[in-house]
Amino acid sequence: MDKTIVTFNDEVGEKSTLTFDKSTAEGLHYVGVVDLHAWVQKQYDERSAAARQSKVKFTRRGIGDEIRSNALDFILNHIDDSELD
């Protein structure tokens, strides 16, 4: 299965990566996400900030899993139902 690797900056400014199935990355682009790197950065920033505010211990893997799950939800919520037939 083909993969798409997206780079972003973690909470301390270090470069990190998140891997998507190629079909998920293409789906995000199809529903209007033009800059996948910026979309992932925003998702990561929001999740890591929420985790810090709630004082919940979080892992990069856990946040990555949430972002991948959110990507699929985002695609399903933004695709025209007629395109699913």
Q: How far is CA 60 from the centre of its chain?
A: 12
Residue range of the domain that includes 24: 3-84
For residue range 47-82, list pLDDT tens digits in order.
888 888 887 777 888 889 999 999 999 999 998 766
Say if residues 37 and 9 touch (Cβ distance below 8 Å). Answer: no
Q: Are 39 and 28 in contact (CB under 8 A)?
A: yes
pTM of the model: 0.87
Angle at 78 (CA atoms; ends 46, 64), nearest 5 degrees: 35
Averaged confidence pLDDT in the chain = 90
Instruction: Give the count of domains, the chain.
Output: 1
The whole-number pLDDT of residue 24 equals: 96
CB-count burial class (<10 Å; 0-12, 13-18, 19+) for 23 = middle
- HSE at residue 41, side-chain half, CA atoms within 13 A, is 11
